[in-house]
Structure 1
């Protein structure tokens, strides 16, 4: 892919891997295991069997393992479309960095452009490692920003229609997905910490400061995922609260209707009794009196509810 020569301070493209000489560093990026195997790269390296096995097989979680003369890193790049991670394996030597991804990935050409325009970024293997991890961290930060927008829209939908059953399902799906992503984030943070530690033999003193700065940026991702979990809980609580408030309004209306019709039912029941002697039945305007009372009573009750702000 690219070779850096310290003597000329220039980078040049190479088609196939070859062992770098003194004051040379090489960066290779294969976008599939098949592409890497075509180059017969592992035959040229004196790899420990465990290091070879770790590099050839993609891990389920990010991790960093150090072997004799090599280190193997399994890291994840997050896409913003479906938030599914793309797994990458890094083989780190003292003067070369070999990257292999599951499938085609977008930021490879950006790295090529960066290393071509800034050859000093390939001066040491730790610098190459830093700029690669910087792009990976950027992918996590982009996902954090996108997730913030997603949850904001979800919260708005609760206010628009708190009765939607899909909101509860969406919250559950997001909680499940966030739990899985949070595991990746925690492991990635551990990897960056190890890369910036002074005991990591493939980092020099200067690159350690870069990795500490990168870790500081990544801490935003960690805290964001923790807050997302609380946000989802808050959205669910908000929906339950709005549903409860809606139910209370319904109960208020039903209570008012009951309060209005209870006295009317009493009046109708009282004068509907089949006793032979009921004095009001012989009143000339008794019917109109009762009818007027039936109109006045609801108005009085409704005014009382309004005054008390019960309705």
Structure 2
């Protein structure tokens, strides 16, 4: 899908037809967005504007040289954006180029960040006159959404913590899996935020990025620092929650072991009595006694009950 945003009569217009590309004045264009484009759309854009989008392998590289580079009048940026799926967060690589004030983006996924950015742009189209402003809006929106994701994750962690503390849920395997899932989401968020931090730091050092927008980048750096602190707190809270979970598991195991121990000790006297009367000796007076069986059973019961009463008085039960 192709989207071309350009200035027209003090407003922003959008064109999606590739055949109309040459009808748009070059100086009016501010953003060319490719989302899962056809081979023809990608080749035409690269040829017409004399640019080269990064490959998927380059977009996923972690080296600084592959993530950010600048030439005489061109910024080449590779960044990952988070997308929420059923199985959690997924990294979606985006290739970004800023050349002569025009922003070029290439992605395969329909990212929420871009959709929200378009809404902001449409709400105040007169505020956007070049691709740098569009790019800043995308970064701001991405940071805002990271903040929302961190707050949502923190809320879910707090709910699980309350349920576990109030013993509304039992400490079983599902709880541990959920804690592990939250930890993975927290780490994914941190990696995504650090990626944005590295990108903005590189932009602040750039000789191409306009000086007039440096103030906005400084504010973003401060916002990112606060997000990293919040994210760190969430991770520490998960570690505390995991320790709490393991504590409840140990208590439950100790309770079970205690029950088996008490049961074993309580049945030791009856077992001893049964063993004595189970011996095969000829001279055993109780063998011919009319009440011998009842006596042995009563003796077993009294010895077992006496042991339990003794444990109860010692507060071992």
TM-score by length of 1: 0.75
1:67 aligns with 2:76: no
Query: Is residue 20–residue 96 contact of structure 1 (8 Å, CA) maintained in 2?
Result: no
Query: Is residue 2–residue 13 contact of structure 1 (8 Å, CA) maintained in 2?
Result: yes
When residues 66 and 308 of structure 1 are mapped into structure 2, their CA distance, relative to the original with a 3 A threshold, is farther
Q: Name the CA distance, whole Å, in 2 between partners of 1:70 and 1:222.
A: 30
Query: Is residue 77–residue 139 contact of structure 1 (8 Å, CA) maintained in 2?
Result: no
1:31 corresponding residue in structure 2: 35
State the aligned residue count.
299
In the TM superposition, residue 258 of structure 1 has moved relative to its aligned partner by 1.7
1:114 corresponding residue in structure 2: 120
In the TM superposition, residue 69 of structure 1 has moved relative to its aligned partner by 0.5
Query: Is residue 66–residue 72 contact of structure 1 (8 Å, CA) maintained in 2?
Result: yes
In the TM superposition, residue 121 of structure 1 has moved relative to its aligned partner by 2.9
Q: Name the CA distance, whole Å, in 1 between partners of 2:242 and 2:176.
A: 7
Query: Is residue 125–residue 202 contact of structure 1 (8 Å, CA) maintained in 2?
Result: no
When residues 112 and 283 of structure 1 are mapped into structure 2, their CA distance, relative to the original with a 3 A threshold, is closer
When residues 115 and 280 of structure 1 are mapped into structure 2, their CA distance, relative to the original with a 3 A threshold, is closer
1:203 corresponding residue in structure 2: 210
1:303 aligns with 2:309: yes
1:138 corresponding residue in structure 2: 144
Greater mean deviation of Cα atoms: 249-258 or 90-99: 90-99
2:109 corresponding residue in structure 1: 103
SS at match of 1:126: helix
Q: Name the CA distance, whole Å, in 2 between partners of 1:56 and 1:263.
A: 75
SS at match of 1:2: strand
SS at match of 2:12: strand
- Which among 2, 15, 24 is matched to residue 5 of structure 2? 2
SS at match of 1:97: strand
Q: Name the CA distance, whole Å, in 2 between partners of 1:298 and 1:56.
A: 74
SS at match of 1:40: helix
When residues 216 and 290 of structure 1 are mapped into structure 2, their CA distance, relative to the original with a 3 A threshold, is same
Query: Is residue 74–residue 208 contact of structure 2 (8 Å, CA) maintained in 1?
Result: no
Query: Is residue 58–residue 78 contact of structure 2 (8 Å, CA) maintained in 1?
Result: yes
Unaligned runs of 5+ in 2: 16-20
Unaligned runs of 5+ in 1: none
In the TM superposition, residue 186 of structure 1 has moved relative to its aligned partner by 2.0
Q: Name the CA distance, whole Å, in 2 between partners of 1:296 and 1:200.
A: 92
When residues 66 and 119 of structure 1 are mapped into structure 2, their CA distance, relative to the original with a 3 A threshold, is same
Query: Is residue 33–residue 56 contact of structure 1 (8 Å, CA) maintained in 2?
Result: no
In the TM superposition, residue 302 of structure 1 has moved relative to its aligned partner by 1.4
Query: Is residue 94–residue 105 contact of structure 2 (8 Å, CA) maintained in 1?
Result: yes
1:185 corresponding residue in structure 2: 193
1:222 corresponding residue in structure 2: 228
In the TM superposition, residue 79 of structure 1 has moved relative to its aligned partner by 2.0
Greater mean deviation of Cα atoms: 110-119 or 74-83: 110-119
SS at match of 1:259: helix
Q: Name the CA distance, whole Å, in 2 between partners of 1:55 and 1:275.
A: 92
In the TM superposition, residue 54 of structure 1 has moved relative to its aligned partner by 3.1
Q: Name the CA distance, whole Å, in 2 between partners of 1:137 and 1:252.
A: 52
